[in-house]
């Protein structure tokens, strides 16, 4: 069976932004 | 756009596809923000806060071209096109109805691509200010962008004095969309 990570759209957006800025520091 | 996809994709696959399309789109908004004159002059903390508050709203503007009001279809960024009826069956109804309504209103203004881009910049810097450390700097940036947008639109359509106010009225629409729909759930398959 497939496993899914579930999150809100707002949390997903927040996560991507945080990752992007951390990567570019 | 790809041909309308039918029974060969399961509901779960469609939902995963819908969820996944947001990832590259969010990254594009971050890159777009870095290109806004003055944005990288804000503190990194304030850049992050504005992006967290405003990205959903920028995406609503960005995505409105993917909605075909005549055909009642939606094209995802991976090229898959689905009828609204199929997406409603997956429980996406309320968000998509709101996006259809918004995209029709914005589409009726007939913005050129550069006007749309400048409008997206205004949307981003007009986002919720909770957590912003330098309010003055953000307000200065917003005022400059709004002045530039007004100048661009009025120079190009000097006889349409109602267009700029109508465009600014889309800002509270976007905030409402954000408040109502940014808590919608996405699902990403973990392989």
What is the distance between the alpha carbons of residues A12 and B22, in angstroms, rounded to a whole number? 8
Query: Which of B26, B185, B188 is facing A13, going by the closest CB pair?
Result: B26
Query: Which of A4, A13, A21 is facing B188, going by the closest CB pair?
Result: A4
Which comes out higher in pLDDT, residue A22 or B190? A22
Set of chain B residues whose Cβ sits within 8 Å of the Cβ of A5:
187-190
Specify the pLDDT at position B28: 94
- Reported as a single tens digit per residue, the pLDDT across A1-25 is 668 888 888 999 999 999 999 998 7
Asked if A4 has any chain B CB less than 8 Å from its own CB, the reply is yes
Specify the pLDDT at position B4: 43
Residues of chain B numbered 154-183 and touching chain A (CB < 8 Å): 181-183
Measure the CA dihedral B166/B170/B173/B178, to 10°: 180
- Reported as a single tens digit per residue, the pLDDT across B98-139 is 888 899 999 999 999 999 999 999 999 999 989 999 999 999
Asked if B130 has any chain A CB less than 8 Å from its own CB, the reply is no
Q: Of A1, A17, A21, A23, whose CA–CA distance to B25 is shortest?
A: A17
Q: Is the pLDDT of residue B187 over 90?
A: no
In chain B, pLDDT over 90 holds for what percent of residues? 57
Contact B121, B145 (CB under 8 A): yes
Note the ipTM here: 0.88
Asked if B185 has any chain A CB less than 8 Å from its own CB, the reply is yes
> Could you tell me if residue B22 is left (phi over 0), alpha (psi between -120 and 50 degrees) or otherwise beta?
alpha
Q: DSSP 3-state assignment of B64?
A: helix
Specify the pLDDT at position B3: 37
Set of chain B residues whose Cβ sits within 8 Å of the Cβ of A16:
23, 26-27, 30
Query: Which of B52, B184, B188 is facing A5, going by the closest CB pair?
Result: B188
Q: DSSP 3-state assignment of B67?
A: strand
- Residue B38, H or E segment: none
CB atoms within 10 A of CB B151: 12
Asked if B86 has any chain A CB less than 8 Å from its own CB, the reply is no
């Amino acid at each position: 069976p497939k496993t899914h990570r579930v999150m809100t759209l707002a949390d997903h957006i927040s996560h991507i932004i945080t990752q992007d800025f951390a990567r570019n520091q | 756009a790809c041909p309308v996809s039918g029974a060969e994709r399961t509901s779960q696959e469609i939902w995963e596809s819908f969820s996944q399309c947001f990832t590259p789109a969010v990254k594009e908004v971050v890159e777009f923000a870095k290109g806004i004159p003055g944005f990288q002059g804000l503190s990194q903390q304030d850049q992050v806060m504005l992006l967290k508050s405003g990205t959903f709203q920028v995406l609503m503007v960005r995505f409105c071209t993917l909605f075909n009001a005549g055909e009642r279809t939606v094209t995802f960024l991976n090229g898959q096109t689905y009828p609204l009826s199929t997406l409603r069956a997956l429980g996406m109804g309320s968000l998509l109805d709101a996006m259809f309504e918004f995209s029709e209103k914005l589409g009726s203004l007939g913005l050129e691509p550069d006007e749309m881009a400048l409008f997206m910049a205004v949307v981003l810097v007009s986002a919720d200010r909770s957590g912003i450390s330098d309010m003055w700097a953000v307000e200065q940036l917003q005022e400059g962008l709004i002045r530039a947008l007004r100048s661009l639109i009025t120079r190009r359509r000097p006889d349409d004095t109602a267009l700029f106010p109508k465009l600014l009225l889309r800002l509270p629409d976007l905030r409402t969309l954000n408040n109502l729909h940014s808590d919608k759930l996405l699902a990403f398959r973990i392989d």
